[in-house]
A and B are shown apart, each in its own frame.
Chain A
Amino acid sequence: MSKELIRLRDLTMEFDGERILDRINLYINDHEFLTLLGPSGCGKTTTLRIIGGFLNPTEGTVIFDGKCINELPPYERQINTVFQRYALFPHLNVFDNIAFGLKVAKLPKEEIAQRVNHMLEVVSLKGYGHRNIGSLSGGQQQRVAIARALVNQPKVLLLDEPLGALDLRLRKDMQIELKRIQQAMGITFIYVTHDQEEALSMSDTVVVMDKGRIQQIGKPEDIYNEPKNAFVADFIGESNILDGVMLEDYKVRFFGRTFQCVDKGFAPNESVDVVIRPEDIDIVEPENGHLVGTVTSVTFKGLNYDIIVEFKGFKWLIQTTDYQPEGATIGIRLNPEDIHIMHKSEYSGMFGDYSSYSAEYDELTADAADEEE
């Protein structure tokens, strides 16, 4: 891709002795759509606020276009922000909100009017210029906030959970809209979200963060297919994570059985985490299975059934379109490419066991995460 635009070097942030960011190293290319993804409290918003200039890092540097901008105040940075819950000016109408940055820059009136009207069209709000901010719906306010930032033609647009307050359908529409705007205007987007689906569908690059550290950087496909540790595997989609031993290249042993796999480069007999995605598992007759287990619960999800299957005391989540009744004995087959091997990490053993799985519990925790931050 194109040239590097922003580099974060050993970025560390501490509040009251608590380490929020721990040596973040990251570069962002021009025209890239990069997403900082992680649970609340992982440091993604803090990283964004440091790039925007609203926070000063305890240590480390922010380099923009080859120059250190640590000391540059927000109003001198060629960066604009779409704030969480928009932060539109309540005393100005839609037009004046969008025109705000251009008026501060003292542009000629005709140019301001022309650019604002153009932006109103880009965000599909033509004819809304005279409206009060308070009279707009959440989605419309969201689009005003995007227009207000983009009209200044920044080099970089920072977006802090911009779709968090919208309902699901509107959020899907806006995801497509944002991606379209980003490509049309050729602006670098740095996007913060805790929604993994949003991150995967919109980004060129995903940065997965937890506990103030970067866990993995990569293309959406790579992050999903080759998670680096149990945290990433669990946070990005559903995963069954098992203890295994890498016997030699392409051979892994778990559940008392040796499987062919596609991974190599591990030490002989190294203890590893084995990731198996629930949608990759093939259900077969018990006599043909690599493993045989009992279905303990079935949940209809629309596209598929989520079934929990117990193998030797360990519960797996399997996603299948074939209905399996509770109590049924089934066999499963694992193809070599369905088995992903990871080195052991501090997250080993914390994720990937569905023993306590319940669909309701899952939704509850997702809601709780939405309300934080």
Chain B
Amino acid sequence: MKRNKSVFLSVPYMVWMVIFTLIPLGVVGYYALTDPDTGVFTFDNIKNLSMYLPVLGQSVAYSLVSALICLLLGYPVAYYIAHRQPLTQKILYMLVMLPMCMSFLLRTLAWVGLLQDTGIINNLLGSLGLARVQLIRTPGAVILGMVYNYLPYMILPLYATLVKIDNRLIEAAEDLGCTPLQTFARVVLPLSVPGILSGITMVFVPAVSTFYISQKLGGTDTVLIGDLIERLFKQGDNPNLGAALSLMLMLLVFICTGIMNRFGGDEEGGVIV
């Protein structure tokens, strides 16, 4: 009865999971469904969520735009890396990973230093006698922050998929009359769909729940759902509403990954999120 014994090996993580994931989730659920003042069971928090729909829409829009920009920037890079010599591939792969070795907060703060009104870029423009421009506290800055931080998560799954495409398939396409562009459209692109889907998921999911990037780089009107949750909890306004919002965000992420896995589900090569 080997199988029964192997169950015991997973006990430590099971315990961990129950204490730090399932119980907190229950607490969030409890908060979401109770009244902040009386503690009585209520659907009011859920109903009140409707007023945050614009924020939710804004979060989704920012994240999707970032994911698409990451895809456009990342695909050519991943393609390039996948078609280099093995050693070059390793070096380039390391370079892509490198920013991830640095603190996320530090990376975002560095952008503040670059973009702010008296920051490096504006000072440079000023010293050249050019007009200073508003860079920070713009939607563009938020998207820039997201793209910068999450681009590696797009490149890596794309690279993993592209590097596995058999070169003989590309030769076969050329043999059957495809120009390089047609080969890409008819063979390489369809075969890299799993990588595209997991790349989009891996950018979209952290981007849609971020709060730090929008706080540091965005203006007062770029409030994302993550910011809202933080505010509702930390400033003590209404943790119950924040809990409800968290649940909704979780549901959204589930739906998105579900859709992605459905499209890429039966293909090989994708990184499963």
Contact = CB atoms under 8 A, between A and B. Distances in A.
Interface stretch (A86-94, A210-218, A240-248): A86-94
A168 interface: no
B87 to A, nearest CB: 15
B176 A83 contact: no
Contacts of B168: 83-85, 87
A55 to B, nearest CB: 10
Nearest to B182: A104
Interface string A134-173: 0000000000000011001000000000000000000000
Given A89-B187, A91-B191, A100 B174 contact: no
B171 A74 contact: yes
B173 A73 contact: no
B175 A52 contact: yes
B266 to A, nearest CB: 10
A81 interface: yes
A332 to B, nearest CB: 51
A350 interface: no
B221 interface: no
A74 to B, nearest CB: 4
A104 B182 CA distance: 8
B48 interface: no
Contact of A89 (B172, B174, B267, B268): B172
Contacts of B169: 87, 89-90
B190 A101 contact: no
Contacts of B178: 75, 104
A303 interface: no
B134 interface: no
Contacts of B186: 100, 104
Contacts of B174: 53-54, 73-75
A95 B268 CA distance: 21
A83 B175 CA distance: 10
B171 A54 contact: yes
Contacts of A105: 177
A12 interface: no
A90 B179 CA distance: 20
Chain A interface extent, by class: 20 to 34
A75 B175 contact: yes
A87 B176 contact: no
B166 interface: yes
A101 B176 contact: yes
A205 interface: no
A100 B176 contact: yes
B177 A87 contact: no
A104 B172 contact: no
A188 interface: no
Given A90-B191, A91-B190, A100-B176, A83 B171 contact: yes
Given A89-B187, A91-B190, A152 B176 contact: yes
A248 B227 CA distance: 103
Contact of A104 (B166, B176, B191): B176
Given A90-B191, A91-B190, A104-B186, A75 B179 contact: yes
Contacts of A88: 172
A147 B169 CA distance: 16
B166 A87 contact: yes
A80 B176 contact: yes
Given A87-B166, A87-B168, A80 B175 contact: yes
Identify which of A52, A53, A88, A100 gathers the most chain B CB atoms within 10 Å of its CB.
Answer: A100
Contacts of B267: 91
A104 B175 contact: no
Nearest to A101: B176
Nearest to A76: B177
Identify which of A88, A89, A105 gathers the most chain B CB atoms within 10 Å of its CB.
Answer: A89
Contacts of B172: 81, 83, 87-89
Interface string A207-227: 000000000000000000000
Interface string A100-118: 1100110000000000000
A234 B177 CA distance: 41
Return the 6 tightest CB-CB contacts between A and B, nearest first.
Answer: A101-B176, A87-B168, A74-B174, A87-B172, A104-B177, A81-B175
Interface of A: 52-54, 73-75, 79-81, 83-85, 87-91, 100-101, 104-105, 148-149, 152
Interface of B: 166, 168-169, 171-179, 182, 186-187, 190-191, 267-268
14 contacts: A80-B175, A81-B175, A84-B168, A87-B171, A87-B172, A89-B187, A91-B190, A91-B267, A100-B176, A100-B186, A101-B177, A104-B176, A105-B177, A152-B176
